[in-house]
Structure formats: C-alpha cells, structure tokens
C-alpha cells in the first residue's frame, strides 16, 4: 500500500531523515521505533504532506511526495499527530465532524455510531468539550477523528506518549481490533516493547537512518534492540 524510497527530510541545514526506504503492505501493522529525535515524526509528516520531502513516496500506486496535505488526506491517508492535538474548545462530536471533512452530512451519522462502538467513553461524553477529557480519552478521540475520513492507511505518531500503562494497553488493543477489521497501520513509537508486540514488521530508526528491520517478533528478541530500546542488558 505504501512504498517509501530514498526519503530525505531537511529543516534548513539539518538533515533529519537520511535516505530511508521501507514498505507498508496492505492489511498489516508496521512500526518504526527509535529514540527521540531519530526522525520518526519527520517521516510521518513527510508522508502526510506536512513537510516537503526529497525522494519517492508511492501510496496505492500514486506518487504523493510533495503533494499538499489535504490532497493526500483525500486519497486515504490519515495521521494521528503526536500530542493528540484535538480541538479543545470543540465538543467530541464537533471534533469528529472535523475528521469527516471529506464526507457528506448524510454519511456522518453511521460513522459517528461506528466511532462510538469502538470508543464507548466518547459516546457518554459526546457533547463535552475535548479539553475536559483525560489524556487517554483525548488520544481515543484523536484516533476516532482520524478514522472519520475512512482512511486506507492510518498513521499514528507516539500514541502512548504521556499515558498511563493501563490506558496504553487499551489504546493498543483498539489498534489491534482495527487491524483485525482490515485497517492498514503505520505506527511510530518510543514504546518499543508495546509497538513490536503489536506489529507484523518493524524498522529501527537511528539518527535519521534505518539501522535494523525485520519481523517484529524477531526484533523483540534482538540483543541490540533489547539493550537499546527494551531496557534489557
């Protein structure tokens, strides 16, 4: 579904992503793990059209590198950004409506119901402002908002950041269920253990370059990964 080849991202003289290549097959969960500053968010932002990359990004057979973000979103790519970034002064329903920007009004009602089935806590608080929600509830809202556009590819940037372990488990269980329903997922995470347990395939990003890749379960057993990312000696 997604083929990234020789991707580079620059911020002025800073070379954040250095010629990486990777694939995301349809129906799979692929994770990119790495330390803070490794280039993970820059990679997602380049795919989503939020920063201008050099290299090739082919989504569903179409070259999208350099296209405007709203065009990429309309093609079927949704990003759940780091830090959730929900609209705190809007209600949950209004946030979901923003996510369904590409839908007709008649199409929204069944999508609301679908989101409320996935995230029952949001249904209970549909008319509350998003700013009154806990961090975990805001993360669920951010995922639901992204799903409102019915994307072919769901990308998530550090969904576990700042959340309690119990809430992290709930969020990852939801991602597993979405994948069971057929959703293709690209997950960027510092929480390597959770990400690799969830994913089918993984890439390790270090200083803007891919240093390791492989079956996620094999990476979990890799000694270098254990030492650097899983806190094991």
At 4 the three-state DSSP class reads strand
The pLDDT of residue 190 is 85
Question: What domain range is 37 assigned to?
Answer: 2-229
Nearest to 186 by CA among 79, 86, 111: 79
At 221, the pLDDT band (50, 70, 90 cuts) reads very high
Mean pLDDT value of segment 195-212: 95
Q: What is the CATH number of the domain that holds 141?
A: 3.40.50.300
Q: What's the number of domains the chain is made of? A: 1
Helix ranges (DSSP H) in the chain: 40-48, 69-75, 92-99, 105-118, 120-124, 135-147, 165-180, 192-198, 216-221, 223-229
- What the block records as the tokens of 80 is 């759940």
Mean pLDDT value of segment 92-104: 85
The pLDDT of residue 87 is 82
Q: Please state, in angstroms and rounded to a whole number, the distance separating the CA atoms of residues 139 and 133.
A: 9
Cα separations in angstroms, 48 against 34, 84, 101, 110: 20, 16, 16, 26
Rg (CA), the chain: 17
Cα separations in angstroms, 65 against 20, 54, 70, 150, 165: 14, 8, 13, 21, 36
Mean pLDDT value of segment 224-228: 88
At 233, the pLDDT band (50, 70, 90 cuts) reads very low
| pTM of structure | 0.91
Nearest to 91 by CA among 136, 122, 120, 115: 122
- What the block records as the tokens of 65 is 């590198």
Q: Please state, in angstroms and rounded to a whole number, the distance separating the CA atoms of residues 228 and 192.
A: 10
Over residues 116-160, the pLDDT tens digits come to 998 888 988 889 898 898 888 898 999 999 999 999 999 999 998
When comparing pLDDT for 83 and 35, which is higher?
A: 35
Over residues 33-59, the pLDDT tens digits come to 998 889 999 999 999 999 999 999 999
- What the block records as the tokens of 58 is 């082919």
- CA torsion angle 173 73 8 155 (round to 10): 0
């Amino acid at each position: 579904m997604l083929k990234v080849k020789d991707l580079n991202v620059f911020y002025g003289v800073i070379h954040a992503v250095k010629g990486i290549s990777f694939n995301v097959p349809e129906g799979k969960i692929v994770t990119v793990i790495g330390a803070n500053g490794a280039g993970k968010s820059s990679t997602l932002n380049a795919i989503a059209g939020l920063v201008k990359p050099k290299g090739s990004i082919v989504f569903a057979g179409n070259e999208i590198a350099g296209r405007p973000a709203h065009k990429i979103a309309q093609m079927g790519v949704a990003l759940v950004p780091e830090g959730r970034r929900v609209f705190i002064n809007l209600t949950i329903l209004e946030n979901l409506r923003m996510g369904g920007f590409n839908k007709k009004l008649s199409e929204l009602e069944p999508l609301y119901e679908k989101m409320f089935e996935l995230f029952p806590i949001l249904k209970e608080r549909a008319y509350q402002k998003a700013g009154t929600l806990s961090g975990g509830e805001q993360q669920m809202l951010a995922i639901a908002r992204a799903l409102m556009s019915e994307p072919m590819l769901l990308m998530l940037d550090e969904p576990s950041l700042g959340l309690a372990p119990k809430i992290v488990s709930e969020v990852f269980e939801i991602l597993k269920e979405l994948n069971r329903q057929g959703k293709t997922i690209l997950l960027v995470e510092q929480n390597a253990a959770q990400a690799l347990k969830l994913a089918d395939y993984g890439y390790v990003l270090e200083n803007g370059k891919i240093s390791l890749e492989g079956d996620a379960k094999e990476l979990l057993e890799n000694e270098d990964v254990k030492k650097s990312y899983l806190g094991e000696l």
